[in-house]
Amino acid sequence: MSRKIPKQEYEKTLSFRLSRWLNGENDTFVGKVEMQPQKEPHEDDSIVMNRKKERKQRMERIYDLANNWEVSGFEKLYKIFSAFFCLFIVAMLLIAVSYLPSYGHAENPVNNEVAERYIESGLQETGAVNIVTGMILDYRAFDTLGESHVLFIATCTVLILLRKDKKKDEKGNDIEVSDRIYEPKNDVILQTAARVLVPPIIIFGIYVILGGHLGPGGGFSGGAVIGAGLILYLNAFGFRKTERFFTGKTYKVLSVCALGCYCLAKSYSFYTGANHIESMIPLGRPGAILSSGLILILNICVGIVVAGTMYTFYVMFRKGDY
Amino acid sequence: MALIQNVPLVSILLSLFAGPVSSVLDGKWAKRLNLFVITFIGILSAGLLSFVIGTDQEYVYTMGHFPAPWGNEIRVGVLEAAMALFFCIIMFLCVIGGVLEREREIEETKQNLYYIMVNLLLCSLLALIYTNDLFTAYVFVEINTISACGLIMIRQTGRTIEAATRYMIMSLLGSGLLLLGICFLYSLTGHLLMSNIKEQVTLLQASGEYHIPLLTAICLMSVGIAIKSALYPFHTWLPDAYGYSTLSSAAILSSLVSKGYIFLLVKIFYRVIGFDIIRESKVINVLFIFGIAGMIMGSVNAIRANNINRMIAYSSVAQIGYIYMGFGLGTTAGIIASIYHIVSHAATKSLLFVAASGITDASAKSENFFDLTGAGYRNKLAGAAFTVGSLSMVGFPMFSGFISKLLFSQAAMGNKHKILITLIALAISVILNAVYFMKTVIRIYTPEKKEVIIDKGFEEISIWEQPAKSAALICFIALNLLLGLSSEPVIRLIERGLEMFG
């Protein structure tokens, strides 16, 4: 049962003060706690100057590398420690490797049904005489699709880093100069050699690409050969002659076509494979040049991308226009 | 096979092909193509998610005419579809949030190259999420690494080139260790397909054969991925890479790239090795210790930083530490907490980066801490968004960070040896988080004197001035609130996804 109390008594109770504080009518700190507004932080100029001077002196002492024994000591210790650390890791890995199954043993786990099917029915299933090509471009074509895009994106990253900026200085000259200033080229020995060598190199590269499903070779190796031929030609004759047939735009269009072709061809086969639709692409007679389904086309695509990548890397490192 | 089950194939190939196509487009069209691709894949992934939740079954998609151990295959479960959807949302918001900065900081002739990187990065993330084959994962880890490098150095200042070089070296070291681990596993099991490796590993574990190489493989893969996702002692590349690159790169790198690798690690734990073997191997104890060290050292470094972007970057080190600590608990609850933290941190960290850029825009582009005084009044939306992000990071109820910290503490209860150290580390880390985030929030809401504002040329920025950034910020805030207020469905989804992992 509650009891009525007079107002004065009520005002002394805790609940009254609490309700007033909650309603914001009363600040319990006013009049009881010493309060003053925050002062502007102020420092004497001399103190600031002193601090700057000390900092400068400290920096000078730290960066005086010849006499700083702490830094040189640390560097020595760092070298010793990293050498020991590397030795430790090498030792651990060697120990781990020694426990692995011995190389080339018939009982090894790697000689299982996967490798068996690749070897035994690779020819019938992919139509490629070269089993390795059959593996990378048919059985595991998704990985190779990723791999060719690795090359493409590597070129793009090099373009970001090294492509000549279009910035000009006050006089309107380019800030970065390309290697064109050394042109025209007139190195007779190199040019004669290139004239003789470049056509066979490129034809050999094309042969390696086209024969990828029939024997050793394929898009990656053949593309590298063609790229080497183009680089030799560029070295002998300079940018002006090369740009008559191969510019940055050519590279872009070629790589888009090649990668697009790869993507489309493989989307078809992925889609039909996953949805259990019979593929329309004939495998042909093993051993003929037009055989093994999509592999030939994919090899050509990969070859174009690899050749373009190699050549573009070289042009970028020579600061060519692109 | 239902038509919608083709979504993983379509989304991977579409984003892959959008890369080369962007190289022949100019910057503007490349941007439109990129935004279209991300939106389209996001919508498809949402459809796929609802399909997978409806059937409540994982399914396997053969890439080509040859079944799994011979050909490639990808696998779709609830968690994969949800992650794909979530990554698309975050990436879309990051890309539109940083439009202005990109146009200002990147040369016009190189604009389209940026979108090549973003497209291929999205493709590699999707492939890492969906793949059921370790070697495919490695191929796309390569694409991921190179494109992340490109994203860092496309803003060409000395600092970013140095940061990209550092990132390249550390990240390639990580890739190398991962590849070495895959080689070890291959020579022990003879398989690259995740489910087949798991069968073989279970047999090996039961027979006790090849114990040492198996342990080495687990260590190599864990350390490789830890380096790539900036676990504490390997974090030195991170502050420069996040702090100086252009805004959308920083947001994408911090919220998606490192998370993709961590998701791969979860896959390796559950689908390649088996979580019981991982728990017995004691590798997770090492991850636990480094995770805890990262939680504390990352925050200490963040307190000392006086550049706001570097401060947020160092805070990433701490948050990655949380995730590895969750792994280290060695319970399913710990893994669920970690995956929830992946989601929550991705949503919050990108919010913080975008909001910080809004704040620095209102402070004459100065990133110095002392110039930010009163910036919350000059750019109201960015100030509010930064406050939301900070509160979420500190673990304030209502926001996503609170739920993940709650889940971590609950998970700690399940491991009686690590309960005390986990709770103490969580408490210390939360206080340290509060120190530097609340310090910044107080700083941006301390009024600056009129003279100083005029003197330094600070400008007021209204919501309508930068519509893309404002829209991104509002979406980020909504996403944070959504994750914080209705976390139940997300947690259930993660639980179900992990069950499907097997």
Residue range B313-366, pLDDT digits in tens: 999 999 999 999 999 998 999 999 999 999 999 999 999 999 999 999 888 888
Integer Cα distance of B50 and B4 in angstroms: 10
CB within 8 Å: A96 and B140: no
Residue of A nearest to B211 (CA): A99
Residue range B452-486, pLDDT digits in tens: 888 887 888 888 888 999 999 999 999 999 999 99
Answer whether B433's CB lies under 8 Å from B395's CB.
yes
Select the more confidently predicted residue: B494 or A42.
Answer: B494
Look at residue B130 and tell me whether its pLDDT is greater than 70: yes
Answer whether B476's CB lies under 8 Å from B349's CB.
no
CB within 8 Å: B190 and A112: yes
Please state, for a pLDDT cut of 70, what percent of chain B lies above it. 100
Which residue among A95, A252, A273 places its CB closest to the CB of B62? A273
Q: Transcribe A132-193 into DSSP letters.
A: HHHIIIIITHHHHHHHHHHHHHHHHHHHHHHSPP--B-TTS-BSSPPGGGGPSP--HHHHHH
CB within 8 Å: B66 and A139: yes
Write down the pTM of the prediction.
0.89
Give the type of residue at A130: N
Look at residue B416 and tell me whether its pLDDT is greater than 90: no
CB within 8 Å: A270 and B63: yes
Tokens of B328: 């280290």
Residue range B392-407, pLDDT digits in tens: 999 999 899 999 999 9
Cα angle, residue B52 at apex, residues B253 and B36 outer, rounded to 5°: 45
Cβ-Cβ contacts under 8 Å, A109 against chain B: 187-190, 200
Give the pLDDT of residue B490: 93
Residue range B430-452, pLDDT digits in tens: 999 999 999 999 999 988 888 88
To the nearest 10 degrees (0 to 180), the angle between helices A295-317 and A188-210 is 150
Which residue among A99, A112, A272 places its CB closest to the CB of B212? A99
Which residue among A114, A118, A159 places its CB closest to the CB of B191? A114
Answer whether B149's CB lies under 8 Å from A157's CB.
yes
Give the pLDDT of residue A166: 66
CB within 8 Å: B143 and A146: yes
Q: Which H, E and C letters describe B184-221, residue by residue?
A: HHHHHHCCCEHHHHHHHHHHHHHHCCCHHHHHHHHHHH
Look at residue B11 and tell me whether its pLDDT is greater than 70: yes
**Residue A315, C-beta contacts closer than 8 angstroms, at least 6 positions apart:** A234, A322
Torsions phi, psi for B229 (to 5 deg): -105, 15
Q: Which of B199, B191, B137, B62 is nearest to B502 (CA)?
A: B199
Count of C-beta atoms within a 10 Å radius of residue A265: 18
Integer Cα distance of B122 and B128 in angstroms: 10
Does the model's ipTM exceed the 0.95 cut? no
Answer whether B33's CB lies under 8 Å from B18's CB.
yes
Q: Is the dihedral of CA A27, A30, A33, A36 positive or negative?
A: positive
Residues shown for chain A:
322
Mark B253-266 as b/e (b = at least 16 C-beta within 10 Å).
bbbbbbbbbbbbbb
**Residue B53, C-beta contacts closer than 8 angstroms, at least 6 positions apart:** B78, B493
Below-70 pLDDT ranges, chain A? 1, 165-178, 320-322
Answer whether A213's CB lies under 8 Å from A128's CB.
yes
Give the pLDDT of residue A319: 73
CB within 8 Å: B24 and A110: no
Residue at token pair 């206080």: B431
Q: Which of A184, A215, A189 is nearest to A287 (CA)?
A: A215
Give the pLDDT of residue A169: 63
B75 in contact with A, Cβ within 8 Å? no
Integer Cα distance of B432 and A100 in angstroms: 46
Which residue among B72, B187, B212 places its CB closest to the CB of A140? B72
Which residue among A114, A149, A269 places its CB closest to the CB of B120? A149
Give the pLDDT of residue B480: 94
Answer whether B171's CB lies under 8 Å from B229's CB.
no
CB within 8 Å: B19 and A153: yes
Q: How many CB pairs under 8 A join A and B?
A: 166
Give the pLDDT of residue A1: 56
Residue range A243-291, pLDDT digits in tens: 888 888 888 899 999 999 999 998 888 888 888 888 777 777 777 778 7
What is the average per-residue pLDDT within B172-180? 95
Cβ-Cβ contacts under 8 Å, A156 against chain B: 23, 113, 116-117, 150
Give the pLDDT of residue B223: 93
B462 in contact with A, Cβ within 8 Å? no
Answer whether A193's CB lies under 8 Å from A236's CB.
yes
What is the average per-residue pLDDT within B79-101? 93
Q: How many Å lie between the alpha carbon of B31 and the closest alpha carbon of chain A?
A: 16
Instruction: Calculate the CA dihedral of residues A49, A53, A55, A61 and round it to 10 degrees.
Output: 180
Integer Cα distance of A298 and A220 in angstroms: 11
Q: How many Å lie between the alpha carbon of B422 and the closest alpha carbon of chain A?
A: 30
Give the pLDDT of residue A176: 66
CB within 8 Å: B6 and A274: yes
Residue range A295-319, pLDDT digits in tens: 888 999 999 999 999 999 998 888 7
B117 in contact with A, Cβ within 8 Å? yes
Answer whether B174's CB lies under 8 Å from B220's CB.
no
Answer whether B50's CB lies under 8 Å from B36's CB.
no
B377 in contact with A, Cβ within 8 Å? no
CB within 8 Å: A153 and B65: no
Residue of B nearest to A250 (CA): B24
Look at residue B106 and tell me whether its pLDDT is greater than 90: no
Integer Cα distance of B74 and B84 in angstroms: 13
Q: Which residues pair with B307 in a beta bridge?
A: B368
Give the pLDDT of residue B326: 93
Which residue among B17, B146, B180 places its CB closest to the CB of A263? B17
Give the pLDDT of residue B434: 93
Cβ-Cβ contacts under 8 Å, B216 against chain A: 92-93, 96
